[in-house]
Structure 1
Amino acid sequence: MTRYAIATDLNRCVGCLACSVACKAANGVPVGAFWNKTLRIGPNPVEGGSGQWPEVEMYFLTVQCQHCANPECVKVCPTGASHVAADGTVQVDKEKCIGCQFCAMACPYGVRYLNEEERVVEKCTLCEQKIAQGELPQCVTQCGARARFFGDLDAGIGSFEAPWVVDITEGDPTYEKTVASRITLDECVEAYGEADVHHLPDVGNDPSLVYILRGRTWRGGEE
């Protein structure tokens, strides 16, 4: 079974917010609402440190719908509008949504909101309109630090893909050629171990999105 997700290398993320801006532009997210937020974690004292510079650490954490395998939002939806699609992503059928916001209240991550104009709940779709055509989610495509990768969890996060640099000597340095050129996570990032792979807190919902963090204390709350 396919289970699409995003893996983010937090050691590479520079907090530029390009993913948040790209998401809003590609999906028409209203002013004041976000499908993808970038949080600053820290500065915090390093373990055993004084808490004074340079004995501090910081990183950026991107938070969006985690496209859970056992989503709480789907369990409480009275109309079946919130559902798990065949590709493993969690989607909202706007034709069925009645705007009750039960799903928003049930979400452990606070990543759903009511579109006041349409009176339906919205959230990250992993750019379903793009991945259905073999493209990548816009937040992955526009990540300048090359920290975000997209793929199928069943194939392993090492196989997740992101756009890669096009050799302009090949004669086609266009945007279309760039986004079609791919590199895998394992080909791009520094080595990581099992202890470096994290998820946001699991309350029985089994979040799918993956975060890689090396050499710093994970403060994502999974403890």
Structure 2
Amino acid sequence: MDHSRRKLMIGLGAGAMIATTGVAGTSIIQTIEIDGKRYAMIHDESLCIGCEACVIACKETNNVPDSATRLEIIRSGPVGEFPDIRYSFFRKSCQHCENPPCVHVCPTGASYIDKKTGIVDVNPDRCVGCQYCIAACPYKVRYIDPVTKSADKCDFCRKSKLANGELPSCVEACPKQALIFGDLNDPQSDINIALKNKAVYRYKKYLGTKPKMFRVPDKFNEVQS
């Protein structure tokens, strides 16, 4: 895409952002029908040890540049009282929202929900680098790829592992089985079985984004609704 067209599309994007936001920038809830699977993930914070094997596997599988990351493990603490004391670990990555602000503000349709999987993704051929999606994401998990100049983020390894019938690389790499992945539309999936048996929360659920990243809280952590 040439420079003049990129500038034009960025300019047109301002109108798209105004059209899809309400008072004080609140996202207008839009329903996107999913025709196939609804992939989701659980991060069990009570099992996570913060080893970052998931982070390394993600970078290697998806060729993420050194200056960027699709996945971070944020450490907090120490918490608790001796001798029952430890650090807590929080996964920061795309939430694959069912009502994603990043999709609603994109002026070119580069940010979209894949209707066969429910995965929020980015088409680099349509991205003009306007960064509206980065600004709109309340989870701050998007970045501009320094090579492609396109917005990028976690896609649950949709075009790599998942395309080959495998689990996302972070799930496979976790030594503590702290990550559970599966289809919410399948009652017998591992994730649905886990959701029936574990107390979970969703980060910033109050925003109405309907994140498909569920979390089992560490017993020391305050649950963030």
SS at match of 2:222: coil
Is 1:151 paired with 2:182?
A: yes
SS at match of 1:128: coil
Distance 2:84 2:98 in 1: 38
Is 1:217 paired with 2:221?
A: yes
Superposed CA deviations along residues 113-165 of structure 1, whole A, max 9, x for unmatched, are 01123211110010002212211100001111111111012335x7337xxxx
Distance 1:218 1:153, change over 3 A: farther
CA contact (8 A) 2:127 2:150 kept: yes
Query: Comparing 200-209 with 81-90, which one deviates more in the overlay?
Result: 200-209
Give the partner amino acid of 1:205: T
Counterpart residue number, 2:208: 204
Name the TM-score, length of structure 1 as normaliser: 0.76
Q: Which runs of 5+ in 1 are unaligned?
A: 46-51, 162-183
Structure 1 residue 55: deviation in Å?
6.0
CA contact (8 A) 1:149 1:185 kept: no
Is 1:23 paired with 2:53?
A: no
Distance 1:112 1:152 in 2: 24
Distance 2:183 2:76 in 1: 27
Structure 1 residue 89: deviation in Å?
0.4
SS at match of 1:14: coil
Match of 1:8 among 33, 43, 46: 43
SS at match of 1:73: helix
Identity of aligned residues (%): 39
- The two structures, once aligned, show a CA RMSD in angstroms of 2.3
Structure 1 residue 57: deviation in Å?
5.2
Is 1:122 paired with 2:152?
A: yes
Structure 1 residue 103: deviation in Å?
0.2
Name the TM-score, length of structure 2 as normaliser: 0.76
User: How many pairs align?
Assistant: 187
The structure that is strand-richer by fraction is 1
Give the partner amino acid of 1:125: D
SS at match of 1:60: strand
Give the partner amino acid of 2:202: H
Structure 1 residue 8: deviation in Å?
1.6
Give the partner amino acid of 2:157: C
Distance 1:44 1:142 in 2: 26
Counterpart residue number, 1:82: 111
Distance 1:84 1:55 in 2: 43
SS at match of 1:132: helix
Q: Which runs of 5+ in 2 are unaligned?
A: 1-35
SS at match of 1:43: strand
Structure 1 residue 56: deviation in Å?
4.8
Superposed CA deviations along residues 150-199 of structure 1, whole A, max 9, x for unmatched, are 1012335x7337xxxxxxxxxxxxxxxxxxxxxx975xxxx954xx2011
Is 1:99 paired with 2:102?
A: no
Give the partner amino acid of 2:110: A
